[in-house]
Amino acid sequence: MTARVMDLISSTPDDLPPRYGADRSTTAIARIIDLVEGGRQLIVSLYGGEGVQIPATAVNWVGVKTAHVLLDPDTGRPVHALGPAPSPEGPLPAVPKTPAPKPVARHAVLTPQWMGTWTTGGWSRYGDGGAWQGTNPAGQRLRGLITYGRQLEALGTITITRALLTIRPASHVPPWALVIQPAAYSESGPQPTGATQTINVNAQQAQVDITALAKTLKAGAGLALVGTAYGGITKGGASAALHLDYTETLQVKPTGRRAQ
C-alpha cells in the first residue's frame, strides 16, 4: 500500500501556535486588581489598561495575582476569569489610576406640577388655581401649596448651591409678606417638613433666593404658603418655577461586562 506522505506534510501549518495575547487567541493573562463579592467577580487589568469587572470561575482567588481570562473575539475585552495563572516572574506593571471624579455644575428648572389652596372646606382652586395664604375678605383661612412631583428626585444625588423661586403675585393684592415652608400634600392640608422663610412681595414678578429652604426639600415635597398676610402666587407661565444651580459628582466605575 502506498501512502502519499507529501500531501499530508503540505497540509500541516508551519506557523507557531497561538500564544496568550495573540490576535488569534481568545484567552490572555490579566492582572487581578481586586476581588468583588469574595471572588465571584474580579476587577482585572489587561496589558496595563484600566480595571474591568468580570465574572469569575468559583475557585479560591485569595492571594492570586494573575488570571487566565476569556476574551471577546470581536473586541478583545476580557469577559470571564477562567482560573488562576502562574505567578509572574518579575514585577507587574503599575495599574493606571482613574482620576478622582470631580463635581459637575448643572442647572435645572422645576416647574409646578400642581398648585392649590386649602380652606376650611378642603382643597380648592381658589384664585383661579394659584396658591394663597392668610385670611381672605370672607374670613376664610387660606394655606397654599406648590408641588413639583418627582422632578427633584429625578436629578439624583445632588448638592444644591443656589435656588431661586419665581414669584408672580396676584396683581390686585397690595405688598404683603409671603411665608413659605417645605411641606407635603395631605388630604387635611399642607404638612410642614421644614423651616419657614419670609419674603416681602412688592413687585409684579421677582426671583427670590430660597437656597437654605431648597436644601431641606425632601423627595416629593413642595412649598407651602403659611403666612398670615393675605396674598397669593398666580398659576401659569414662569410663576412658581424653581431654578436650581447644583453640583453632581459622577461615580467612575470599572467598565466592561458584569455578571447578570
Q: Mean pLDDT throughout 214-237?
A: 92
- Looking at the structure, do residues 163 and 236 belong to the same domain, yes or no? yes
Residue 4 within a domain: no
Q: How far apart are CA 52 and CA 58, in angstroms?
A: 18
Work out how many domains the chain is built from and give that number: 2
Q: Mean pLDDT throughout 195-202?
A: 94
Evaluate if residue 250 carries a pLDDT over 60: yes
Q: Mean pLDDT throughout 115-144?
A: 93
Residue 253 within a domain: no
- Looking at the structure, do residues 123 and 238 belong to the same domain, yes or no? yes
Q: All 3 cell numbers of residue 227?
A: 403666612
pLDDT tens profile 41-68: 999 988 888 888 999 999 999 989 999 9
Q: Provide the CA 90 distance to its chain's centre, in angstroms.
A: 42
- Looking at the structure, do residues 192 and 147 belong to the same domain, yes or no? yes
Residue 50 within a domain: yes
- Looking at the structure, do residues 74 and 170 belong to the same domain, yes or no? no
Of the candidates 131, 135, 130, which has an alpha carbon nearest to the alpha carbon of residue 181? 131
- Looking at the structure, do residues 241 and 211 belong to the same domain, yes or no? yes
Q: Is 215 exposed, middle or buried (0-12, 13-18, 19+ CB in 10 A)?
A: middle
Evaluate if residue 256 carries a pLDDT over 70: no
Residue 68 within a domain: yes
Evaluate if residue 148 carries a pLDDT over 80: yes
Q: All 3 cell numbers of residue 62?
A: 485569595
CATH number, position 55 = 2.40.50
Of the candidates 149, 137, 117, which has an alpha carbon nearest to the alpha carbon of residue 225? 117
pLDDT tens profile 105-118: 999 999 999 999 99
Residue 119 within a domain: yes
- Looking at the structure, do residues 69 and 115 belong to the same domain, yes or no? no
Residue 191 within a domain: yes
**Its pTM surpasses 0.85:** no
The pLDDT > 90 percentage for the chain reads 59
Evaluate if residue 96 carries a pLDDT over 80: no
Residue 134 within a domain: yes
Question: Which one of 52, 84, 116 terminates a domain?
Answer: 84
Q: What pLDDT was estimated at residue 173?
A: 82
Evaluate if residue 225 carries a pLDDT over 50: yes
- Looking at the structure, do residues 113 and 242 belong to the same domain, yes or no? yes
pLDDT tens profile 150-162: 999 999 889 999 9
Question: Which one of 18, 49, 84 terminates a domain?
Answer: 84
Query: What range does the domain containing 168 cover?
Result: 105-248
- Looking at the structure, do residues 74 and 183 belong to the same domain, yes or no? no
In which band, very low, low, confident or very high, does the pLDDT at 15 lie, cut at 50, 70 and 90? Answer: very low
- Looking at the structure, do residues 189 and 73 belong to the same domain, yes or no? no
Query: Residues 6 or more apart from 226 whose CB is under 8 A from it?
Result: 133, 143, 179, 180, 181, 183, 190, 192, 196
Residue 74 within a domain: yes
- Looking at the structure, do residues 31 and 116 belong to the same domain, yes or no? no
- Looking at the structure, do residues 194 and 119 belong to the same domain, yes or no? yes
In which band, very low, low, confident or very high, does the pLDDT at 188 lie, cut at 50, 70 and 90? Answer: very high
In which band, very low, low, confident or very high, does the pLDDT at 88 lie, cut at 50, 70 and 90? Answer: confident
- Looking at the structure, do residues 65 and 122 belong to the same domain, yes or no? no
